[in-house]
Copies of this chain bind each other. A is one copy, B any other.
Amino acid sequence: MILVKIGGGESIDIPAIVRDLAKVTAPFLVVHGANALRDDLAQRLGIEVKTLTSLSGVSSVESTPELIDLMMMTYSGLKNKRIVELFQQNGVNAVGLTGIDGGLITGERNSGVKTRIGAKTVLVRDLSGKPRIVNVDLLTLLLSNGYRPIITVPILDAERVAVNTENDDVVALIHSALPAETIVHFIEAPGFMEDPSDSSSLIQRMTKSELESRLEIASGRIKRKLMAIVKLFEHGAPRVIIADGRVERPLERALAGEGTVIGASNE
């Protein structure tokens, strides 16, 4: 199986990814974001997308009820359905699902972010959580009948409330239950780079232990993303590719080894 994560950036070429996936004979699953679309809609509606900054300096979006509404409109609605439509046009019987459909993904509500408001430290608890349980039966039911699940947020918390979560963690959870041979993360960069501003610093090959060393010195959002990738190696020995989602034939190139290829060991 191939597990594909498509980042929610504006410049990702989704039609190109879909065309490539339509040629894949192995079963596959897609998890996608839509942050650019969400922020665009928020701006058009005059809604401020607030961020919470923890005491340790990590920023995340504050998932208010209004933000969950926005995510349902953009991630679950417009973005998910346009991707499903593209797959249908390319002969793939895609089914769009959020984490709440069929109880697909249940999570644990975050306990809150300690943040500084003026001189005070306050705990802000929003509608976000960590994905913990995936309804594998639903995924297997669909996959074994020829459907291709196209998955996005929100997910359910323990009280069955729709909450936001990190798509990287959703990918890790799905892989833990339904291990994939290959996991491709499409981002708006050539891959994982030593210096994000210098594309010649692309790291082409990395072992799991090299990734773990990098994790130790990373911080903030990058650390969270790396942790989700390290988790992938707890199940099977997948090939993980961080690939450019902005190029022609993005999946074909990624599978041919372009981008950053992370393996369980140096082979």
Contact = CB atoms under 8 A, between A and B. Distances in A.
B45 A161 contact: no
A101 interface: yes
Given A72-B81, A84-B100, A160 B95 contact: no
A159 B102 CA distance: 29
Contacts of A142: 102
Nearest to A75: B77
Contact of A161 (B74, B85, B94, B97): B85
Interface residues of A, number: 39
Query: Per DSSP, are chain A's interface residues mostly helix, strand or loop, or mixed?
Result: helix
Interface string A21-53: 000000000000000000001001100000000
Contacts of A161: 85, 89
Contact of A77 (B77, B89, B97, B138): B77
B101 A94 contact: yes
Interface of A: 41, 44-45, 69, 72-74, 76-78, 80-82, 84-85, 88-89, 93-98, 100-103, 137-138, 141-142, 145, 147, 154, 156, 159-162
6 contacts: A82-B162, A84-B101, A88-B160, A95-B102, A102-B142, A102-B147
